[in-house]
Every structure is written in structure tokens, then in C-alpha cells.
Structure 1
């Protein structure tokens, strides 16, 4: 009997299509549910069976999957954070491997995560969830300034901002609360999470859970842009850390997963290492973005995406490293606002020793700006070698060879620049 692995949508940066091809390699037939197949470049080449479906409607998803022959559906998964809840609900309805839906819904709401961690006494920033303008003053009294303001339900650093004054908080909170739907047409929560700003180094702990047992795959060193935005500019894996610090970061991640009730699959846990110890910043119920799974593969030989698919169909998961080394990714950012003419030097940078890949994502004619979120980046360089210092040096050299040629913006009378990833405002 044909065995299907259902994918409910995917991300659009390449990993999603790789996941479909990987399912084929595992002897499964990928079944791709989507409301708009045109957003996925290369979908036709994956060999997936495509089902047009309102993926924002749980009943429609369950009906589409329930129409398969009995016993032919092996599991359900996604590479898009926006659809992890839909996967959990479908899996529970159809008795497939997965996390409890209420656990995934809670993990997708940063405010609910904060509340659960607070109840468990876990170290984290002071915080408050704001749903109306009149709640801001009281919230700021408890959180203090400066603070970080962000939506409770977004990803990719979208609408995340450091605020130094009450006026800045008010302005940014109004912007967040005005968003009614996200880029996938799903209702936005309309709530703002205010967090104490922790000025400390940031790491992400890449975790994988099987039957409620949490395994630490490794720890990534993260570098972000300066204030007021927090766009990731570089990742180094594994992070160069001492044993005691590694143990403390691992414990924080594992404790958080226990508190939230995660039982299966990958999670990406972001932590800042303060002078008082680790403080959890975010927990994402999915594989890391920002090419981190590729860094894990290059450095240690662990294919996390493949293991995600194994877990989704109830197969054994193998997280054992097959080699040692280091890998890193550095992202190309626009130097100023303008219209992109071209990115130069990519071929030359790709020929450098230890460079694995140079990718240019910025298209000529695109309007760009100094980065405010992950969608503003123009490309990336990936390198791998024996040590982190060498990887950092190679990334520096390769980035230095890339040039960004811009044309000046032509002001449009009576119009304002719309962020294409910010969702729909009222």
C-alpha cells in the first residue's frame, strides 16, 4: 500500500521543497496541502501530490486527509511555523504521531509561554501582555524601560523592536495591534508582548524530543543587529562554550520543554546568557530557521529535517553525530534604503576555501531598507571548517567580497512603503 506523508503548507525559503524530496527518499509519497501552490518555487519538481485546500480551516484539512484510503496516511508535518498548530490538530484527529494540540497552540503564543514559565519559576525577563492601549502604562510600570515590544504570534523577527521611551512603546504597540491577519491570511492575535531588555549574549539550543524525552542536538551562537531591531546576522555552530555554560543552557531548554509539555519533534530555544545565568527568550515548536539545520549537517552530519520526517511517521530518530567540525552562516544586509540593482562578488566568494555556499535572495528591482526583520536580508554565505575562529574569518572575508548596488528611491506622492511580510492592517 502507498504510504503518504502529508505536509500542511511549507516555508518558502527552500527547506520546504527539500522536505518533500526527502520524503520520497524515505519511501513515502509526499502529499502537499496548500491554498496557493504558486507561492512555492520548484513544487512541481518534488513529485508531491498537491491538494488544493483551505489550510487555514481545520475542518477542510481533516476532510482532505480523511479522504485518503484507510491506513495510507503515515503522518503529517510542516516546515512552516504558521501551520504547526494545524498539523497537531490533524494528527490528533487522525491518531497520527504528534504533539497535543493545546501544547502547540501554547508554544505558538509567546505570551502563554511566558505565563507558563513564570508559573514554574523559570528565569526569564519581566513581561506583560497588552491587548489595548489603556493597558500600556500599567504594563510598563512592571516591565520597565528600555523594553522589547513584539507580537505574541509572529516569527522571523517580524515587528520586534527595542523601545527606549514610553512614546516609542505606544507607537510600536499601536502598529502591532493594528495587524489583523498575518502573511498567510490567518487572524493575528492583536496582542503585544512587552519584555525587559536583557543586554547579554544570545544562543539557541537546538532540541529534539521523542516520547517526552528531550535531546540536545547542539547550541548555536547567535549575532543580531544593533538596536532598535533584532535581525539575526550570523550563526556559529557549535557555539564555543565551556562545559558548565553548555550544561546550564541545555538544562534551561529541557526544563522549558517539560513545563510546556512538548513530547515530539524539533524545537528551537533562544536563550540569553546574563550575569545571573540563562534566561529564556523564545521557544519555537519547529526546526530552527536561518540555515541552522544546514550548519548542524555540515558540522556534525546530523540531518535534522530527515529526523523530523522520521518522527512524524513514528520511525526511530537518530541524532548521533557522524563527524566533528564547525559551520557558520552570515547574512547579507542592505546598507541603506534604495532599489536593488544587483549583488556582486557572489561567484568569487563561493570559490573561497571552506565556503560551502553563497546564496543571493535579493532580486533586482526590489525595494530594500536597513534590515528590520529576516525578510529584509539579501543573501547568505555558509562556511564550514575545523574550528569556529576559522569559520568566522572565512565568513568575514566572503562577506567583504560581496557588494550591494542600489539606486535611490523615487518618493511616491501620498503613499507609504508597505512591509510585504507585516500582514494586513485594518
Structure 2
């Protein structure tokens, strides 16, 4: 009998290793298909395999999977989001082509276009920030004036806060719109202009049509939206929890989602929860690890079960607070040294310390998720205790950039 394979389209520095490990625990052989496999440090460790291929070419991907079928029984296919959602769209199309369980490619593709997503949410009556779309700097300026400053500018297609910026005045709008429209990797060349929804940021994770977890996120200094800390579960009243769960499920219905994992980002504003973004997949930034520590639910393993045609179980098995602190440099330059990770890892309650950089690395901040040079994860029975553990560990890590 051929060995059962789990096909992973591209990779992810935080979720990628966990998909490989979870797949292996389920007696699957993970194979990563990537245009540049060497960019993922974890590939090649243990029994993980990789094939080099143009993952933007759907026909080539289908052919490669057909070749793999001569050796393996392909049990499931999934992918990750990088700078945009195109990889996850490709994975969903592969699932459909090979008659494997997976999300609806049309719904996934609709979510990838933030303007189309906004239209679907607004049409369904889901509360969203006021928004416009534009393709020229003058049109962006006019839209910002109509909405009222400050506004958030972002590419219509993208992820990880890439290219997202808060613009306080007309000069900011002109500068960032000019930058985005001149970017070589901006395709299509459209900019989403949004009202700045002020309020606490919440991250809601679902599996199928069930709300699994609600956490909070804190960001670094504006005008960028670089994640600084994430904590699960969020401190909510029963009414707040129900309200956010209802809005989240309304988002799924509006977008034609409801299979597998999804992540909904909301802000609690003066008019209640407002939908910022919906992703038809698991988020990165250590969220699956935090949910497992806080709730005892391994969302990655449960997702893989669905991919291979088994039932998932997302019932809560644990009650504690888990949080992640992301290490964000305050300047560009050359990383001379970074130290203290071993001491931080030894702090009771710390479950993981991971650094993404080595000395002599060039630090070039772009205001997105790649600005993080590492993270610390901690868990304990209480919110106060977990935050204290995180702070103690973070204080032990230091670095020098010149």
C-alpha cells in the first residue's frame, strides 16, 4: 500500500513546522512544494521532504501532484499565506481538482480580494469601516477626503499587514499611495482606503461554523500595524463574547465560508464590533500554539484531519491563559548581537523562545509581520501571571543594532 502524503504548498516560519509535525503524528508523509524550498529553515529536518516547483503555475502544480501519485497516496493538500493569499487559493483549487476535502476555491479567492470581501460583508449587513477603492493617487486623495482623516491605506491583495499604514493627513496619504502604486509586487494596482476603526483588536478563530477561540492583539507604534502581543482568551463578558461570535459567523455566511479554519479580525468600536478582515485559513503569529496552550485544542491537527476526510474535535480541554510577545527592533541596521534567549526560556511558565535572526543580519523594517526578529510564548492559570512571565522573559533578551 502506498504511503499517505500530505501536500503543503509553500511554507510558513511559524505554522509550517507544526503542520509537518502534526502530519507525521497522523502517520502522513508531509511534502512541501515550493518555488524556493531553502527559504524555510525547517525543511530537511527529520523526515520532511520538499520539491522545487513554480507554485504560481497551477498546471505545473497539478502535473507535479500527478507525478507524486505514482509513489504516494495523496491524502490531503493545503497551503499557507505569505505576502498574499494566492498560495492558499492554489491549494484550494488543487483540492477541488483531485477531489479532496477543502474549502470552496471561489470563496477563498473572493476573500483574497479585500475590496470584494468588503462588498460582500457590507451587502450582508455586517458592520465594516467605511471604504473606497482607487487606482490613482488623485483618486486615493479624494476617497480619503470623503471618508475623513485619518484613514488606513492597504493593497487590495496582501496579508501580514504588508503595505498597511495609518495616514493622519493629506501628505501621508499622498506619500503612501505613491509608494504602493509604485511597488513592483502590487498586483492588481488597486488601493483600499478605509475609515480608521478605533478600538480594541480581537482575533476570532473558527473551525467550520463553530467559534473556537477569541483573543486580543496589541500592536506597536503607529502608523504601522506590527503585532506586539497576542493573548488568549480575551477578557470578555458573556454578552461581548456572544456579540463577537454572532458577527464572526455572519462574516462566514456572507463570504460563503464554513469549511475548515477561518480567522476573523474585529475591532470593538463605539458602534460595537466592526469587521476588519476575514481570512479563510489559520492565522500565523503563533496563534495556533496559543490556542492549544489556552484551550487544549490543536487546530493544526484538527485541520489536517478534515483535509484527509476525518472528523475534527474542537471541544475545549484546558482552561488557562496563553500569550506571545513579539520582539520588534526599533531601528534599521546590522544586528551586532542578540542574547538572553536561553535565560528567557528557563523562566517558569515560558513554553517557547524563538529567534528568527542571527548576528550580522541586516535589519530592514517594512512595517509588517516580517519585522519581528523573534517571539516568546508563555502560559499560566491566570492572565496577570502570564503577562508577568512574559515581561520577565522579555527583559532578559537584548540586542544591538548599528
TM-score range, shorter chain: over 0.9
Deviation by residue 1:147-196 (Cα, 9 ceiling, x = unmatched): 010112111111111101122112111211222337xxxxx222111110
Aligned to 1:156: 160
Q: Against the structure 1 CA distance between its residues 158 and 31, is the aligned structure 2 distance closer, same or farther, given a 3 Å change threshold? A: same
* Map 1:55-70 → 2, pairs under 5 A: 55-67=55-67, 68-69=69-70
Counterpart secondary structure, 2:184 = strand
> Aligned to 2:238, which of 243, 246, 260?
243
Alignment check: 8 A CA contact 1:334 1:369 kept = no
> Per-residue deviation at 1:250?
0.8
Distance 2:371 2:46 in 1: 27
Query: 1:168 maps to what in 2?
Result: 172
Separation (CA, whole Å) in 2 of partners of 1:250 and 1:208:
12
Distance 1:94 1:133 in 2: 43
Q: Deviations over 1:33-80 (max 9, x none)?
A: 222222121312242443332210111111222331499222211133
Further displaced range: 301-310 or 370-379: 370-379
Deviates more, 1:70-79 or 1:25-34: 70-79
Taking the aligned partners of 1:49 and 1:376, their CA distance within structure 2 comes to 28
Aligned to 2:80: 79
- Higher deviation after alignment, 2-11 or 319-328: 2-11
Shift in CA distance, 405/138, structure 1 to aligned 2, threshold 3 Å: closer
Cα distance in 2 between the residues matched to 1:402 and 1:228:
26
Matched, 1:32 2:27: no
| Conserved? CA contact 1:334–1:371, under 8 Å | no
> How many angstroms apart in 1 are the aligned matches of 2:17 and 2:199?
36
Which residue matches 2:192? 193
CA–CA distance in 1 between the matches of 2:54 and 2:131? 35
Partner of 1:310: 305
- Residue 101 of structure 2 corresponds to residue 97 of structure 1: yes
The offset of 1:104, in angstroms, is 0.6
Does 1:219 pair with 2:214? yes
Shift of 1:96: 1.2
The residue matched to 1:180 in structure 2 has which SS? coil
How big is each residue's C-alpha offset from its partner over 1:317-340, in whole Å with a ceiling of 9 and x where there is no partner? 111122111100011111333321
The verdict on how the C-alpha distance between 1:51 and 1:350 changes in structure 2, with shifts beyond 3 A counting, is closer
Deviation track 1:353-384 (CA, whole Å, cap 9, x = no partner) reads 21112222232112335672211112111110
Higher alpha-carbon deviation: 376-385 or 356-365: 356-365
1:372 and 2:373 matched: no
Tell me, in whole angstroms, the C-alpha distance in 2 between the residues paired with 1:359 and 1:30.
23
Aligned residues of 1:126 and 1:142 also touching (Cα < 8 A): no
| Structure-2-length-normalised TM-score | 0.94
User: CA RMSD, aligned part only?
Assistant: 1.8
Matched positions, count? 397
CA shift, 1:402, in A, is 1.8
Q: Is the 8 A contact 2:150 2:195 kept in 1?
A: yes
Structure 1 residue 123: Cα displacement: 0.5
Stretches of structure 1 that go unaligned for 5 or more consecutive residues are 183-187, 408-426
Q: Secondary structure at the match of 2:45?
A: helix
CA distance in 1, matches of 2:49, 2:260: 24
How far apart in 2 are the matches of 1:391 and 1:371?
30
Q: CA deviation at 1:14?
A: 4.2
Q: Where in structure 2 are the equivalents of 1:26-425 lying within 5 Å?
A: 26-67=26-67, 68-69=69-70, 72-80=73-81, 81-181=85-185, 188-209=187-208, 214-368=209-363, 372-407=367-402
Higher alpha-carbon deviation: 233-242 or 42-51: 42-51
Q: Distance in 2 between matches of 1:47 and 1:222?
A: 35
**SS at structure 2 position matched to 1:181:** coil
Mapped contact 2:205–2:211 kept (Cα < 8 A): yes
Give the structure-1-normalised TM-score: 0.89
Structure 1 residues 354 and 371, CA gap change in structure 2 (3 angstroms): farther
Give every structure 1 segment of 4 or more consecutive aligned residues whose post-TM-superposition deviation is greater than 6 Å.
none
Q: Which moved more, 1:24-33 or 1:169-178?
A: 24-33
Partners of 1:403 and 1:360 in 2: CA distance: 12
Q: Structure 1: how far apart are the matches of 2:400 and 2:191?
A: 36
Q: Quick one: distance in 2 between partners of 1:314 and 1:77? A: 13
